[in-house]
Structure 1
Amino acid sequence: MSKCIFEVNNHIEEYEFDKAARQANGAVWLKVGDTVILATVTIDRETVIEGDFLPLTVQYIEKTYAAGKVPGGFFKRETKPSDFETLTSRLIDRSLRPVFPKGFAHPAQITIMVLSVDKEADLQRLALNAASAAMLHSDLPFKNSVTGVRLGKIDGKIEINPTNSQMQDSTLDLMIAGSKEDLLMIEMRSLGGIETEIIPAVMIDPMIDPSLASETINTKISNAMGEDELLDVIGIAQEALEVANTQFEEAMIPLAKTSEEVVYIKEVSNEEIYSHVEANYADKIKEAISKMAKSERNSSLKHIAKEIASSDISTSNDWHYDQIKHAVVSFKRKCVRDQIINEGARADGRSLTEVRPISIETNILPSAHASCLFTRGQTQALVVLTVGGNKDSQMFESLTTEGTQNETFMLHYNFPGFSVGEANPIGAPKRRELGHGNLGKRALAPALDSQGRTMRLVSEILESNGSSSMATVCGGYLALRAAEVNMSEPIAGIAMGLVTEGDKHAVLTDINGLEDHDGDMDFKV
């Protein structure tokens, strides 16, 4: 059993290896104050998954006994993950997924369990650090530390990894995950507040009633942060991440298990096929990628691949369909990126900074309290608002707070299969839907003045070709204003993209599905 104790961004963290879950490929027992977290990494080396994706699953699990509580509800045991558990699992997944090398093909399971909790613990940051430590200690042949840092702004001063109590007074909630060199995940929101102004009243004798001598006006403010200040804050976070990851790698890598080999799936590439596609099917592929609908684009490329597969040259050379499809997709990706980098133009004809056409219709549902049909290009969201009283709020519990809390602003996001032309039945919301709903909620909540009422927004995605979550933000704001709900300032959302080739780069405004898939970054603002 080995142990690492060091200070990470103002917190003493104690990591123990080979103490528990020793049959996992990697495991760590993390103790910070009264918080205890067990993180494990398990790799199925007997199974190899074919396909162009990483078979990684992340589960963050909170045990109610960690806070001395019995699960609420009829069944007195942990069952369905809470929204916080699902969102934390997604956060860790987004942070650690880039660490895995391209072609890694074994099913990988990262499990993080909260066994004991301190009321001041930032469980998301600690869970990410524990998962990263378990990976460093594992027998995986790649060792790259990823840690998280949370920044708050309290009384105008930036605080690194504030406690939960301190965050109650913060106007900023910025969570960043990264390695020593790179930022891998950014999740940010401003924390709205109330600005109180006292105005002297006229024609009132204070001797009669002193309370009538002035009038108090409370105004909702969003506490939005300017661009220059945000860049400075991100710089502070980057310095903290460099320090933390350096400590992790220097202390933990020497204690790691002996590395074992893993299988990497090589790309099914064939230069002869690629050259044939480039010489004979370039125009057809360029025509296919100019089509806007995601389902049309995919069908067109499949038709081209099947046409090549059935040709005489394919038959005589014994070309496999997988090789042909890979060549078509690779050439398509090259066309999209070259056009952006070298010509400053995009597949749908827009310039790099051009936003797709926007259409807005409000209050189109007569019986709903308010609604908005927001369309941007071929992305369309129907956002519907229902206004209720205090009894309509969502009750929930968390490990780090006492008793039951009430959520008075909800945003629920639904993504049916027909929005992308797929024949899928509608079922319970998946992780992605919970994540996108939370993203929209974080954007709108700081500016919302609910005045003691419960607000529920539901976003039904009717079409999707890029950035449906940001269409939800735009439609959500418009639905709120259509109901004459007070907002401290207008809110809109847009997805930005990045394409890099060597020393060249291009920043894209309002990316569509094609640019999201073939680009290098999807950054929602």
Structure 2
Amino acid sequence: MYTAKFEINGQELILETGRMAKQANGAVIVRLGGSEVLATACCSSEPKEGLDFVPVTVEYNEKYYAAGKIPGGFLKREARPKDKEILVSRLIDRPMRPLFYKAFSRELQVVPTVVSTDQINPPDILGMIGAFAAVMISDIPFNGPVGAVRVALVNDEYVINPTFDQIDESVLDIVVGATNDGICMVEGGGKEVSEDQMLGAISKAEEFLKDFLVFMQEFQDACGKEKLGFHESALVLENSEAMEEYLSPLIEEASFVKGKFERLAALKEVKNAAAEKFAENITDETKPLFSKLFNEIEKKIMRAAVIEKQLRCDGRDPKTIRAITSEIGILAKAHGSALFTRGETQSLGVVTLGSALDEQILDNIDGDKRERFMLHYNFPPYSVGEVGRLMTGRREIGHGHLAFRALEPVLPPKDIYPYTIRIVSEILESNGSSSQATICSGSLSMLAAGVPIKSPVAGIAMGLIKEGDKFQVLSDILGEEDHMGDMDFKVAGTKNGITAFQMDIKISGISKEVMTVALNQAHEGRLHILERMNSVISEPSDNIPENVPKTISFKVPTDKIGMIIGPGGKNIKGLSEKYTAKVNIEESGLLTIFAATSAQAEACEADIRGMVEDPEAGNIYTGKVTRLTDFGAFIEILPGKEGLCHISKIAKERVQKVSDALKEGQEVKVRLIEVDRMGRLNLSIVDADNPDWKPQRTPSRPPRPQGDRPQRK
């Protein structure tokens, strides 16, 4: 067993190997405070022929026992991965994937498991560190070291690996991955932070990771296994030089045909012609090698055109953004809808507003939470002209979360706008940056639904082509530029600052100079997109659809909450049924009514205010007769509050029998003339219409005479 320690914020980060999961290729347990993650790395025993990618899967999982919990619901064991686990798996995968070798050609699986959590130190970063360490000390070839750190901006100070509480207080929260060559991954969000603040956080992360990467390398050197060899393929593509000479001019011409499908068709025609010309050199086994050669030539031509000519495959220069159109009110019955189109990427954003009872309940090891904002991203196969299954995969969850992160900071507070908000983005066309189109359509659709967001939000995807010391940053990248480029760099925000940020680097790392250029160019692009969006709608719409629930919120005394709810929820259920409304009350006393019409909401409000109101002498009420007696009638003037109207106060003329003047269930107007010492309510029907009525003063006792008091025996 081997153990290594590294100090972070006065706590020891501990890496341990050799005690658990010893049959895995690599296994490490990571501890920080009371949080622990066991990470394992394994590879298949045999290589696979013809792979042009790294077949690695990351399965981050959180065990409920880590927090001393039993899973909620009927199924009492951990089942399919939750969205959070999928998002962390993607976070771990992205820095690692470029560091594996394609030539290894074996299936890889990395499994970080949260086995303990102290609810103080977030386990996701431990999962990243554990996964990296497990691969590094294993016998799987890996171009490490690689490390990760979270940085938060709390009270204008950058905090390394913040606690949950510090993250909640922060205005910026990012996770940074890096190798010895530089930054390779950034993901996070902020509350409209500036580009300088974002760069400051990344610089702080770089400063920390320099020392941490040395620690990771020392850990590998001390206990790492000898690496396995690469799979050497015997397959060779014959006559490849002649193929390249023939293909290069044809691919160059086809690569700059305007239009995605037209360009793909032109390239396919060139490929088919070459396959026919060199048919005798291409066998079934070497077809993948021919496709690889074709793709390499295409990539080389595209990258050279950007670096040398500043020319992109659709004819744009590096900074130009594709044509943008925005429309709102697309769907008649939706609460809010918008169609955002940028080039050949199109998103239909649809907003639905619900009550507090529609909030999403999250049951995880960090504690149960309720989420009032949801964003669901759908990427159907028809968006790229293909046939396939309609499903929600890791990509959909990841893109949806990025858009969620971008829009959440501009939402109005719950006490001002109590609705639950759900956005669905249907990607109808895709050729680059559909997640950023989702942010734009989501912002537009919320404004169309009348949601009072702080400011419109737009997103843009940036790319990078780097050859030696030369580089070129690309604004609003296409799918081909993402595939053949060196960086996918997404920035979303308002005119005031950044709200979401995601960067993946396909090369070993990038410099601060490249990062600065990319951020500044993204800022220009974001403002351009916002300008186009604002020309359609820039403020919340006043034209709210009729089917949007009407809402009223107000505070009630906390000591009255029990009375409003009633025994077994009787009172609140009765109000809901009577007014066809949803009534939600929180521990703070914030009460919210959701109803189909304003009249229903206001009537429900009047009843609830009556329940919590203390009756005041002199006020006039509309009450209901609850029972009759020989000496008068009992009348309920407020829910749960009734008083007596004496027979002498029922009418101006003499009443012989109470039942002659009143009936049970009858509504009458009464004045509360007195609340006696015992809290009983005395009512008067006669005085309800008397404008000159004044409360009668109870005669005071005469003063006791001064002098000696008689002594008691």
Normalised to the residue count of structure 2, the TM-score between the two structures is: 0.66
Query: In structure 2, do the counterparts of structure 1 residues 121 and 264 end up closer, same or farther at CA, with 3 Å as the change threshold?
Result: farther
How far off is 1:104 after superposition? 3.1
Say whether 1:513 aligns with 2:513: no
The residue that corresponds to 2:447 in the other structure is 481
1:380 aligns with 2:343: no
CA deviation string 1:263-292 (max 9, x = no partner): 26699666x435444446623552255343
1:181 & 1:276 partners in 2: Cα distance?
35
| Alpha-carbon distance between aligned partners in 2 of 1:317 and 1:184, rounded to the nearest angstrom | 37
Q: Which residue of 1 aligns with 2:386?
A: 422
Residue deviations 1:480-508, cap 9 Å, x none? 11112112222100000000111111110
Residue in 1 that maps onto 2:58: 58
Given that residues 180 and 246 in structure 1 are in contact (C-alpha distance below 8 angstroms), is that contact kept between their aligned partners in structure 2? no
Where does residue 82 of structure 1 map in the other structure?
82
Q: Distance in 2 between matches of 1:269 and 1:479?
A: 53
Structure 1 residues 386 and 380, CA gap change in structure 2 (3 angstroms): same
Q: Aligned-pair distance for 1:306?
A: 2.3
Question: What is the CA distance between 1:140 and its match in structure 2?
Answer: 2.2
Paired with 1:146 and 1:437, the residues of 2 have a C-alpha distance of 27
How is 1:121-132 mapped onto 2 (pairs within 5 angstroms)?
A: 121-132=121-132
Native 8 Å contact 2:257 2:266 kept in 1: no
Q: Of the candidates 193, 201, 212, which is equivalent to residue 233 of structure 1?
A: 201
Alignment-derived partner of residue 337 in structure 1: 303
Match of 2:703 in 1: none
Question: In the alignment, is residue 432 of structure 1 matched against residue 411 of structure 2?
Answer: no
Matched, 1:163 2:163: yes
SS in 2 for 1:246: helix
Deviation of the 1:127 alpha carbon = 0.4
Q: How does 1:190-339 map to 2 (within 5 A)?
A: 190=190, 223-263=191-231, 272-279=239-246, 282-283=249-250, 285-293=252-260, 297-311=263-277, 313-315=278-280, 320-339=286-305
Measure the CA separation in 2 of the matches of 1:181 and 1:363.
49
Equivalent position SS for 1:124:
helix
Aligned to 1:446: 409
Larger CA Rg, structure 1 vs 2: 2
Task: Identify the range of structure 1 (491-500 vs 324-333) with the bigger mean alpha-carbon deviation.
Answer: 324-333
Q: Single out whichever of 29-38 and 381-390 deviates more from structure 2.
A: 29-38
Query: Which amino acid in structure 2 is aligned with residue 93 of structure 1?
Result: D
Partner SS for 2:59: strand
Return the alpha-carbon distance in structure 1 between the equivalents of residues 370 and 148 of structure 2. Answer: 28
Distance, in Å, in 2 between the alignment partners of 1:314 and 1:138 is 43
Which amino acid in structure 1 is aligned with residue 308 of structure 2? Answer: N
| Closer/same/farther in 2, CA of residues 285 and 11 from structure 1, 3 Å limit | same
Matching residue's letter, 2:394: R
In 2, Cα distance between equivalents of 1:185 and 1:9: 23
Which amino acid is the alignment partner of residue 395 of structure 2? R
Q: Share of identical aligned residues, percent?
A: 40
Alpha-carbon distance, 1:66 to partner: 0.8
Letter in 1 for 2:226: T
Displacement of 1:96 in angstroms is 1.2
Aligned to 1:195: none
Q: How far is 1:232 from its partner?
A: 2.1
- For residue 353 of structure 2, give the secondary structure of its aligned residue in structure 1: strand
| Alpha-carbon distance in structure 1 between the residues aligned to 2:251 and 2:14 | 59
Three-state SS of the structure 2 residue aligned to 1:485 is coil
Against the structure 1 CA distance between its residues 264 and 502, is the aligned structure 2 distance closer, same or farther, given a 3 Å change threshold? farther
Per-residue deviation, 1:361: 1.0
Residues 269 and 327, structure 1, Cα contact 8 Å, conserved in 2: no
SS in 1 for 2:192: coil
Structure 2 distance, partners of 1:377, 1:455, is 28
Higher RCO (Cα < 8 Å, 6 or more apart): 1
Return the alpha-carbon distance in structure 2 between the equivalents of residues 353 and 266 of structure 1: 44
Counterpart contact for 2:121–2:162, Cα < 8 Å: no
1:470 Cα offset (Å): 0.4
Of 92-101 and 227-236, deviating more is: 227-236
The 1-side partners of 2:102 and 2:280 are apart by 31
Q: Write out per-residue CA displacement over residues 129-166 of structure 1, whole angstroms, 9 at most, x where no aligned residue.
A: 01111112211243512221111111111111111112
Mapped to 1, the partners of 2:234 and 2:164 lie a distance apart of 46
Structure 2 residue runs of 5 or longer lacking an equivalent are: 492-713
Q: 1:62 to 1:498 in 2, by over 3 A?
A: same
Question: How far off its partner does 1:326 sit?
Answer: 2.6
**Pair 1:180-2:147 in alignment:** no
Distance in structure 2 (CA, Å) of the matches to 1:174 and 1:281: 43
Q: What residue number does 1:408 align with?
A: 372
1:172 deviates by 1.0
- Secondary structure in structure 2 of the residue aligned to 1:334: helix
Residue 524 of structure 2: aligned partner: none
**CA drift at 1:297:** 4.2
Structure-2 change in CA distance of 1:361 and 1:482 (3 Å) = same
Contact kept? 2:9, 2:160, Cα under 8 Å = yes
- Quote how far apart the aligned CAs of 1:316 are: 7.1
Gap change, CA 1:289 and 1:426, over 3 Å in 2: farther
The alpha-carbon deviation at position 173 of structure 1 amounts to: 0.6
Distance 2:282 2:34 in 1: 66
Corresponding residue for residue 135 of structure 1: 135
The one-character-per-residue Cα deviations of 1:448-493 (angstroms, maximum 9, x if unpaired) are 1152211100000011000000000111111111112112222100
Indicate how the Cα distance of structure 1 residues 323 and 35 shifts in structure 2: closer, same or farther if over 3 A, else same: closer
Task: Tell me by how many angstroms 1:299 deviates.
Answer: 4.6
> Hey, what's the Cα distance between the residues in 1 that align with 2:251 and 2:95?
38
Query: Any stretches of 5+ residues in structure 1 without a counterpart?
Result: 191-222
Residue of structure 2 equivalent to 1:463 = 429
The Cα of 1:180 is off from its aligned counterpart by 3.0
SS of alignment partner, residue 413 of structure 1:
strand
Relative to structure 1, is the Cα distance of residues 317 and 126 closer, same or farther in structure 2, using a 3 angstrom cutoff? closer
Number of aligned residue pairs: 487
Match of 2:638 in 1: none
- The CA deviation at 1:314 is 3.9
Which whole-Å CA distance do the structure 2 matches of 1:266 and 1:176 have between them?
40
User: Alignment partner for residue 323 of structure 2, among 326, 346, 357?
Assistant: 357
Give the SS at the match of 2:231: coil
Deviation per CA, 1:332-390, whole angstroms, max 9, x where unpaired? 11111111110011110111100000111111100100111111000011110001110
Taking a change above 3 Å as real, the CA distance of residues 266 and 93 of structure 1, as seen in their structure-2 partners, is farther
Q: CA deviation at 1:304?
A: 2.3
Write the distance in 2 (CA, Å) between the matches of 1:8 and 1:42.
Answer: 29
**Take 2:281 and 2:131, find their aligned partners in 1: how far apart are those partners?**
51
CA distance in 2, matches of 1:426, 1:519: 29
User: In the TM superposition, what is the alpha-carbon distance from 1:230 to its structure 2 partner?
Assistant: 2.0
**Residues 387-402 of structure 1 correspond to what in structure 2 (within 5 A)?**
387-401=353-367
Cα offset for 1:248? 1.5
Moved more, 273-282 or 103-112: 273-282
Give the alignment's TM-score, normalised by structure 1.
Answer: 0.88
User: Aligned partners of 1:61, 1:386: CA distance in 2, in Å?
Assistant: 31
Give me the whole-angstrom Cα distance separating, in 2, the residues matched to 1:511 and 1:317. Answer: 34
Change (3 A) 1:316 1:111: closer
Q: How far off is 1:6 after superposition?
A: 2.4
Q: Deviations over 1:289-348 (max 9, x none)?
A: 53432x55445433322222222x543787954343333222211111111110011110
Alpha-carbon distance, 1:188 to partner: 1.8
Q: How far 1:516 sits from its partner (Å)?
A: 0.6
